[in-house]
Amino acid sequence: MADQGTESILQFAPFQSAVDEGFWHRLSSLKLNKLGIDDSPIPITGFYAPCSHPHVSNHLTLVSESLPSESSEHFRPEIIRGNRNRCPVPGILYNTNTLEGFQSLDKQSLLRAEARKIWEDIRSGKVDEDNSVLLRFIVISFADLKNWSFHYWFAFPALILDPPATLVGLKPAAQWFSVEEAESVTAACNDWRNMCSTTDVPFFLVSISSNSAASIRHLVEFDACRKNGDKVLFGFYDPCHLPNNPGWPLRNYLWYISRRWSLEKVQFFCYRESRGFANLELSLVGEASISNSQDSRNDQNMPNAVGWEQNNRGRKAPRCISLAKTMDPTRLAISAADLNLKLMRWRQLPSLDLNVLSSTRCLLLGAGTLGCQVARMLMAWGVRKITLLDSGKVAMSNPLRQSLYTLDDCLNGGELKAEAAVKSLKKIFPAVEAESVIMAIPMPGHPVPSQEENSVLEDCKRLHELIDSHDAVFLLTDTRESRWLPSLLCANANKVTITAALGFDSFLVMRHGAGPLSSSPEIKAKATNDLSAEIGALSLKDNIKGQRLGCYFCNDVVAPVDSTANRTLDQQCTVTRPGLAPIASSLAVELLVGILHHPSGIFAKAEFASSIDTGSEQPLGILPHQIRGSISQFSQMTLAGHASASCTACSSTVVEEYEKGGLDFILEAINHPTYLEDITGLTELMKSAASFQIGWDDETGDEDDFVEI
């Protein structure tokens, strides 16, 4: 900049703004909770301090306290004085309601209006009392609360001196002062900065007497100091770090000095710090020459003003900041939910595979007591893709037991359950990818009138496609026969299938075995390696005993029929102890997590709590086939049952028949109660073997205990 001795125009380093995210947080909540569409200007307070870093300038900073609090009556920011790093500066905020409004603000006249305040404060003498008004600033903004982005633009209005001030000389203060003076100035500045009453007063006088003793005085004492014959410098807290330029506050300061005392030569002191103490190597002293033309002394003409800040690319344009990461509740919910699971992995289960969980597509058949609870448990485990299928509406009796519904869902005839459940899931966790399917599951033994045949067949096709497009299926409906078609379709598609069923005080939770036509990776590997081609050819057909686990229907000697016919209401409806459904639902979900983490997946063998031959212990524990529990006994046991060759849902006979006959086969099964029993040989079996016993492993499950609900 200026060489010593040769005069050049004095150039100032522009003020730089910084907005703490806390400011935007408070502005957002003010806007939402108090201001609404009121867009009148808001008084705010900015803060700055002397530069304290040799390479970085201090900024004019807005923090949350810069704004009035929502409860404040006078709607002015409440400022705590006496913080050395926070010299308060008055500002004004124009926050518009729309981006268009923001763009069309008349910036020139806003700047001029604010500059006029400074000019009037100088004329009225207000600056003498509170010199921070010289630093008045403007912020215009638009808060896009939908996207958590904030457009804003600062202006630091500066009155223009005409002609501009010229620089007589500028040096580090340490070189300007004598050694004694420098020592005394340093001590005086530190005292000023350490005094609560003066630490945030940014403009002051440095008065040096003939014996090199320096003192820091208030501006109003200028005449007294001059009378003493002291050397007087105009000091200010300089936010700028540059060695050859004073910072922006000097602009209005010079204007004020020239107007107030009509000085032509002004010695100024740019006060800078390091480590909290005055640093005269970084501080500057300069001398400016101001020509006091008639014009500038003319009280009637306000000078021109400049001061809109450049953006971070150095252009005269607004800035924009995005805070979606810290403000978007959806994103916050995701990171919080992830944290819980990650902690689990970190502390207890290093092998927990969160990606598998979040990418598994789950289909829940039934959105009642079980469906609601299973959906919640799935979300708790980090499952993100959930489809709920139900044809019913939310009834008044539902919300107490069906944890996704409230009374609102029951009004006006009730919302569709699947839709209400999805809405509720999204409310609980916005990032869930939940979908609803409204349809009834076709059931055997519930004959279809011929005019409805097409729509029933359409439903069958749709269910087939739904099962194909998901990875895991939960059977959570309230009748036994409604589980038949999904069991068959899952066996056909070889999907992970989990059934939960409730009695009055007992429950069954089980995973279905693999489909009859699938082959486990182990068997395949064995077949390619083994010399015996026989085993490979046999694959996993039902006649290989002990290989395939059963499905919900494997243990039955009757095909599913209409179980609600001829039953009293208490037998049809959910008459079950309320604690049962949450227990069974939780077990069903834990079972799924176990399958997803088991190396053999759907082919995993049944494991028991007491089994000692498992060898390969999984971090999540054993993976049973069935869990049966009774609340009346407060007991629970794990069981296993193999697939039955006569099963009406998963036997190869039925699945092959379905593959061949397709929808015709389904229609046959639905309309003719004994059709399934006939083709699977159950009819034959029942006739011939009165002593038929199902192959429970140790215990004999007593199916009659189960009232299907």
Output 66 or 547, the one with its CB closest to another protein.
66
Output 338 or 471, the one with its CB closest to another protein.
338
Give the integer Cα–Cα distance in Å for 667 and 165: 97
Output the CA–CA distances (angstroms, integers) from residue 45 to 197, 349, 368, 692, in the order listed. Answer: 18, 50, 56, 87
Give the integer Cα–Cα distance in Å for 514 and 494: 6
Output 23 or 553, the one with its CB closest to another protein.
23
Catalytic annotation on 573?
A: yes
Q: How far is the CB of 113 from another protein (least distance, A)?
A: 25
CB atoms closer than 10 angstroms to residue 84: 17
Q: How far is the CB of 335 from another protein (least distance, A)?
A: 5
Q: How far is the CB of 65 from another protein (least distance, A)?
A: 12
Measured over the CA atoms of residue 250, residue 255, residue 261 and residue 264, the dihedral's sign is positive
Single out the catalytic residue among 225, 573, 647, 650: 573
Q: Which residues contact 211 (CB under 8 A, 6 or more apart)?
A: none
CB atoms closer than 10 angstroms to residue 180: 13
Beta partners for residue 46, in sequence order: 89
Q: How far is the CB of 339 from another protein (least distance, A)?
A: 5
Per-residue burial over 43-76, b if 16 or more Cβ lie within 10 Å, else e, is: ebbbbbbbbbeeeebbbbbbbbbbbbeeeeeeee
Q: How many residues does the chain have?
A: 709
Q: How far is the CB of 167 from another protein (least distance, A)?
A: 28
What are the DSSP E strand ranges found in 406-541?
433-438, 472-475, 496-502, 506-511
Q: How far is the CB of 480 from another protein (least distance, A)?
A: 46
Give the integer Cα–Cα distance in Å for 590 and 586: 6
Output the CA–CA distances (angstroms, integers) from residue 402 to 189, 341, 375, 414, 629, in the order listed. Answer: 71, 25, 11, 14, 21
Output 138 or 165, the one with its CB closest to another protein.
138
Output 19 or 278, the one with its CB closest to another protein.
19
Burial class (CB in 10 A: 0-12, 13-18, 19+), 108: exposed
Q: Residue 11 has which token pair? A: 């150039």
Helix axes 663-671, 453-468, angle to 10 degrees: 120
Q: Which of 29, 93, 30 is nearest to 62 (CA)?
A: 93
Query: Which residues are at the interface with another protein (CB under 8 A)?
Result: 16-25, 53, 55-56, 59, 275-276, 312, 319, 321-323, 325-326, 332, 335-336, 339, 342-343, 346-347
Beta partners for residue 216, in sequence order: 206
Output 45 or 652, the one with its CB closest to another protein.
45
Output 25 or 218, the one with its CB closest to another protein.
25
Bond into 163 cis (ω within 30): yes
Give the integer Cα–Cα distance in Å for 17 and 537: 77
Tell me the backbone φ, ψ of residue 173, rounded to 5 degrees. Answer: -60, -35
CB 535 within 8 A of CB 526: yes
Could you identify the residue written with the tokens 């995210």? 21
Output 209 or 274, the one with its CB closest to another protein.
274
Q: How far is the CB of 194 from another protein (least distance, A)?
A: 15
Q: How far is the CB of 310 from another protein (least distance, A)?
A: 11
For the annotated catalytic residues, the residue numbers are: 573
